[in-house]
A = this chain, B = another copy of it.
């Protein structure tokens, strides 16, 4: 299958970078074709703005959702957005690899969703195409991330609360909204507090999971 890894960590030698490389190698060893969008490496523009459109529907007021729908029809997104859309169209599986910052994606990945999962491309507000009729149906996605805090801190009685509640919301309202089938997330909790041996074990577990995809 065709696999797109969307990678969002500023340090290539971080654990997230290691996970991205391990996923790419494992997938390739299993005969899959892999592309990587290294958002930091690409200096991906994080901010959705007027400059995303080579042609405007309405020059008097900038409505992102209306301009995205128009650009999806006329092909007037800037090249960086079109390149990412082509990769998404090509892919059977999207792997998002990132550190959880402020209970969400790093801004550069949030901006990837803001700009690439555009109205008319990932969903269609004018034709009510969401969820079961989302425009990315038939493809799969998986969130793969690290956290700063340990696992217990993200439990129901931990200081940060049950992370599954958050994930349920993100998965449903971002990924499933576009029709993607979402596989259960891969998380390494608190790796910076782990021994090297424990991190190695976690990477083995990670590799097994990637192998099973």
Residues of A participating in the B interface, judged by any CB pair closer than 8 Å: 10-11, 13-14, 40, 46-50, 61-65, 101-108, 110-111, 113-114, 117, 125, 130-131, 148, 159-161, 165-166, 168-170, 172-174, 177, 192
Contact = CB atoms under 8 A, between A and B. Distances in A.
Nearest to A148: B65
Contact of A10 (B11, B62, B165, B172): B62
B103 A174 contact: yes
Contacts of A177: 160
Contacts of A47: 10, 40, 46, 106-108
Nearest to A8: B47
Contact of A103 (B10, B64, B130, B169): B169
State the copy count for this chain: 2
Contacts of A63: 11, 14, 192
Closest 8 CB pairs of A and B: A107-B111, A46-B46, A11-B62, A107-B110, A103-B173, A46-B107, A110-B110, A10-B49
A74 to B, nearest CB: 20
Given A61-B14, A62-B11, A169-B165, A46 B111 contact: yes
Given A10-B47, A103-B169, 7 more contacts: A14-B62, A46-B107, A48-B106, A48-B107, A63-B192, A160-B173, A166-B173
B46 A103 contact: no
Contacts of A50: 10
Contacts of A168: 161
Contacts of A10: 47-50, 62, 64
